[in-house]
Amino acid sequence: MSNSATPILPPATVGFVGLGNMGYPMAGRLAAAGYQLVVHDLNADAVKKFCAQSGGKAAADLRALGAAADVVITMLPEGKIVRRVLLDEGGVVSGLKPGTALVDMSSCSPVDTLGLARELADAGFPLVDAPVSGGVVKAVSGGLAIMAGGDSAAIAACKPLLAHLGKVFETGASGSGHAMKAINNFLSATTLAITSEAVVAGQRFGLDPKVMVDIINASTGRSNSSEHKFPTFILPREFTSGFFLGLMAKDLRFAKALVHSVQEKNIFVDAISALYDEAEKALGGQADNTEIHVYLEQLADKHD
């Protein structure tokens, strides 16, 4: 893009599509940093609340959002929705100024991202795939890990903007950011499921779950799941991490497809993906991802 080397600094206008659990605090941080926010979400109440709290403006429609923006960020449930928002008739791209950068911070299929990036490049718009990790807590604090793939000049231009949301890691060509996110969530889901199975088994033997987690966290079996998810969401039976079980199952299907595309033998990804698919069917996609622990408890109870 012609202005790709120019840093995107306040008070540049950011078009932000998607004010869900993650998108809302992320957009709020950009508004607090001095950017002008033009926002859109199917949840009209979320848009109204955001504009009242953060001083943003509600876009009349997606075309108007594109026309007003110096950069557009999407934070949506999955790639098919991202494609529709950007490319459908009256979508964001129909209103964009030439060369405007698009930053997709959703979790999407790396393969689909490659196709979308090519289409947008042909139309003159660089796409940065920049999914995040860290959950709602890090979205609020600005401590997200941001995995940015795509056009290097576009990434450089967007870095000052993204720095208000977290630390940017450049992953390579288009699709590499989404590939890294799928791999990370495969690891995250695996450690959560394995720790849950261990704690459930120990509890049924007679161990205190809290004591177990304390010992695990002082020992070699510790992980983000044991150090953060168990004491914060699972042991108190809160299950309020803010990331849906259905979204984790979707990301695991992306990870499974990615692994299958590069190697024939797969020991863990198929099993973990199948486990989360089964949990989603049993508990519903809107269950919190930490409720995989509940599902494993239910499986254990069937053996009584």
Long-range contact set of residues 83-90: C-beta below 8 Å, sequence gap at least 24: 83/112, 83/116, 85/17, 86/116, 86/120, 87/116, 87/119, 90/61, 90/62, 90/63
**Among 47, 111, 124, CA closest to 79:** 111
Q: Which one of 181, 229, 250, 256 is the catalytic residue?
A: 181
* Whether residue 49 lies in the annotated active site: no
Distance CA 28, CA 241 (A): 19
Kindly list the catalytic residues. 181
